[in-house]
């Protein structure tokens, strides 16, 4: 295994990030769901949410760093190639609205994203400070708003179907008034607050298994008046430092293996669900727990990760709690295939194709 490298080194080596844009209004969400032929005709299939805009293109510079810039497309194609879905079986998300973002983020923060230097600090991509802000909005922020819209659609759909999976999302380092660690919009709290305002849920539990502490989610949960609770499993030896206060933290030491990790998971998930009694679980399922990942020290393999994801989803569904799954971080070459294998295992159990 190669030398572990820092988050900042990875992103500055990329150069400016370029993403494909896609945008609709938030009001399209329910219409897109109601009129979608695959979901209308085959309600037994677990809804999967995906947009080509999730994938990152960096003009070939992506080959200089470990982030797999097309991992979302690889997950999508792996599921299709396995015959588990056709192209029309995926729900296409729309862009999150400014109104929804303002339920969580301050106006000052959203306005600050018009400053290229501010965005360069959040993304840790130095050269992007020289890119005009209008291009950064088109190439970076709009695609992230689509991914945030995907998280909202996933949560909404999970409440209706019991389980839904977004092939992106999980920006857990974004606070109400600042971003960081590649995260601009705090998509999960945004989605939870939007659905709360609509009267669709009272309390949500975020179960975060990304290798990094979800410091943004944690802070927003603390300020949510018990609307949001957080159970967070993370590597205590890595970013962010220092850690923030949170509801329920499972901080693992450097180099934790799969057996130790899964034992803690299987002990704490049931207890947290019993304590918080959520109307919805949002599962933030990072693949940076894998041993080859350059940005963490965990020693889980793909089978461990699949077992982790299956346990969380299966236990929640056994308690009849809806689950919205998002994919969060993951920077090794194994990330996409591990996510695909995990999702396939979940679909094998929860797709009703009888």
Q: Which is nearest to 282 in space by CA: 176, 186, 191, 182?
A: 191
Beta strands in the chain (DSSP E): 18-19, 48-49, 56-57, 90-91, 163-166, 204-208, 228-235, 248-252, 280-284, 323-326
pLDDT at site 354: 58
What's the Cα-to-Cα distance from 95 to each of 121, 282, 344, rounded to whole Å? Answer: 23, 19, 27
What's the Cα-to-Cα distance from 60 to each of 70, 142, 258, 302, 337, rounded to whole Å? Answer: 12, 21, 34, 27, 21
pLDDT at site 138: 66
Q: Which of 173, 196, 212, 339 is the catalytic position?
A: 173
* Tokens of residue 73, six digits: 């497309």
Q: Pairing mode, if any, of strands 204-208 and 280-284?
A: parallel
- Mean pLDDT, consecutive 10-residue segments, the chain of 354 residues? 41 35 36 44 83 67 49 93 95 94 96 84 70 71 87 97 96 94 93 96 97 97 94 97 96 98 98 98 97 95 98 98 95 92 98 78
Residue 173 a catalytic site member? yes
Q: Which is nearest to 217 in space by CA: 169, 284, 172?
A: 172
pLDDT at site 36: 55
- For 263, other C-beta atoms within 10 Å of its C-beta total 10
* Tokens of residue 323, six digits: 């689950």
Residue ranges of domains in the chain: 7-350
pLDDT at site 59: 41
Q: Which is nearest to 342 in space by CA: 350, 354, 352?
A: 350
Please provide residue 288's backbone torsions phi and psi, each rounded to the nearest 5 degrees.
Answer: -75, 5
Domain boundaries 7-350, corresponding CATH code: 3.40.800.20
Whether pTM exceeds 0.95: no
> Taking a C-beta distance cutoff of 8 angstroms, is the pair 289, 247 a contact?
no
Please provide residue 235's backbone torsions phi and psi, each rounded to the nearest 5 degrees.
Answer: -85, 115
């Amino acid at each position: 295994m190669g030398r572990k490298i820092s988050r900042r080194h990875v992103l500055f080596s990329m150069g400016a990030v370029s993403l494909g844009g896609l945008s609709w209004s938030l009001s399209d969400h329910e219409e897109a769901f109601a009129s979608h032929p695959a979901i209308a005709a085959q309600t037994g299939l677990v809804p999967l949410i995906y947009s080509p805009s999730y994938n990152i293109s960096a003009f070939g510079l992506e080959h200089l760093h470990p982030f797999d810039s097309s991992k979302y497309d690889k997950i999508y194609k792996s599921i299709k190639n396995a015959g588990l879905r056709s192209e029309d079986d995926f729900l296409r998300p729309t862009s999150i609205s400014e109104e929804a973002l303002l339920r969580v983020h301050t106006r000052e923060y959203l306005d600050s994203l018009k400053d290229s230097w501010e965005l360069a600090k959040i993304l840790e991509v130095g050269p992007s400070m020289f890119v005009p802000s209008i291009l950064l909005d088109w190439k970076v922020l709009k695609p992230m708003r689509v991914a945030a819209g995907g998280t909202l659609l996933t949560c909404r759909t999970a409440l209706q179907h019991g389980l839904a999976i977004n092939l992106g999302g999980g920006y857990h380092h974004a606070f109400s008034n600042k971003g960081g660690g590649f995260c601009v919009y705090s998509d999960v709290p945004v989605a939870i607050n939007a659905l709360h305002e609509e009267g669709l849920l009272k309390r949500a539990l975020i179960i975060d298994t990304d290798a990094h502490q979800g410091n943004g989610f944690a802070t927003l949960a603390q300020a949510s008046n018990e609307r949001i609770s957080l159970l967070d499993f993370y590597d205590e030896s890595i970013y962010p430092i220092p850690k923030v206060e949170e509801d329920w933290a499972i901080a693992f030491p450097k180099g934790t293996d799969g057996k130790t990790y899964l034992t803690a998971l299987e002990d704490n998930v049931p207890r947290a669900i019993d304590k918080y009694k959520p109307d919805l679980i949002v599962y933030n399922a990072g693949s940076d727990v894998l041993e080859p990942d350059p940005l963490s020290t965990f020693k889980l393999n793909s089978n461990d990760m699949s077992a982790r994801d299956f346990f969380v989803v299966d236990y929640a569904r056994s308690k009849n709690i809806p689950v919205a799954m998002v994919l969060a971080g993951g920077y090794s070459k194994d990330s996409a295939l591990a996510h695909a294998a995990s999702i396939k295992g979940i679909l094998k159990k929860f797709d009703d194709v009888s």
